[in-house]
Chains A and B, each alone.
Chain A
Amino acid sequence: MRETHVWYALELGRRPRVRLPGGLELRRGGSSDGKLVESLPTGSARQVESRLAQGAELWLVVEGGRPPLRAGCSAGGHPWPPRAAAG
């Protein structure tokens, strides 16, 4: 793998909370959100279900029936290929 992976750490503490643009809402996702996840460029309902079953935590930003963003996913008992954001 010809890549360098860099870790960043954020001390949580008391930090200002950035507001989402109007009409958008952040919420925790669940197994019923597979279709929403699949409407984004990456991710599948099957993957979401699998990770949720492993103790994952899914976050979604929603606007009506549309998901502008998904974030997160959590640990479980089975390793999967490493992920990292570009940049």
Chain B
Amino acid sequence: MLRGRTPVAAARGGWLSLPEGTVCLEDSVTSPDYRGRGVAPAAWSQIAAAAAEDGYATMVTKVRRPTRPLVVLSRERLGDPLRVVDRCDETSAREEFVRLEASGWKGRAGTAIGSTDAHRRCFDETSAAFAEAGRLQLLALEGGGRTVAMQWNLLAADAIFCLKVAHDEELASCSPGAQLEVGAIEAFHRRTDINWIDSCTTPDNELINRLWPDWRRIASVVVARKSLVGRSALAGLRSAVALRDRRRRGASSRGVASRLPGRVD
């Protein structure tokens, strides 16, 4: 915790004086074994309480975000400032999302929503139902009359689940998907009815790990019926999980799948 001043590269001498009564929480590192248990928010809360007891009125902290190359792109190629809008109520926006996703690698691989009739129906019906319930979020990063990235999210209780993202591959070098993720964070902080977001990505997603500081722990629970079939299924599942874990450890020892992101929690 910094009292009086804090290190900042752009400040004269590398240090920035803090206002009277202000402390700075410089950094925080959580052990990977404890991520997803709410350790960091609780610790920060108690550190803040200790600072308040010491007579401090404000705690500041600093986070970093990737520079936005699309800001430059918007001036040079799109002509307009980029903006993030929620087009959840527009049926045409859902069509646009499907087209955008199919125009990229998912379309070429045949894994886009529009590649399969059943998936397309599921997307349309889910979108319509959640939109009617006020629980659809369809974010679009736009500029110059062009949509460069979109994110299809569903809301449940006080959470947002980010299920699908698509971007214009012609602009891929400018990271439109990453820029929309940043916009989604800002949209999240503007809402008061939402307390958390699940990125729905793998734990080793480097982009998401750089953007979102917190993890949550997810567990799968299997309940077997008290029958021979149930017990057999459970035993088979245990063997499959053990085999999977052995394979992961093997991959880990070869340095393939064990790259834990260096991150702050």
Contact = CB atoms under 8 A, between A and B. Distances in A.
A63 B155 CA distance: 36
Interface string B38-77: 1111111111110110001111111111111000000000
A26 B66 contact: no
Nearest to A57: B1
Contact of B31 (A3, A9, A66): A66
Interface string A48-77: 000000010101010000111111111100
Main secondary structure of the interface of A (DSSP, over half): loop
B211 A87 contact: yes
Contacts, number: 192
A74 B262 contact: no
A59 B30 CA distance: 12
Interface string B174-202: 00000000000100000000000000000
B31 to A, nearest CB: 5
B210 interface: yes
B3 interface: yes
Interface in B1-44: 1-9, 13-15, 22, 25-34, 37-44
B62 A73 contact: no
Interface string A12-42: 1111111111001010000000000001111
A24 B32 CA distance: 15
Task: Give 7 nearest A-B pairs by CB, closest first.
Answer: A79-B14, A18-B45, A68-B34, A12-B52, A84-B64, A71-B28, A72-B1
Interface of A: 1-21, 24, 26, 39-43, 55, 57, 59, 61, 66-75, 79-87
Given A12-B49, A20-B39, 19 more contacts: A3-B64, A4-B65, A9-B59, A13-B52, A15-B48, A18-B45, A68-B31, A68-B39, A70-B29, A71-B40, A73-B2, A79-B15, A80-B14, A85-B62, A86-B63, A86-B64, A86-B263, A87-B210, A87-B264
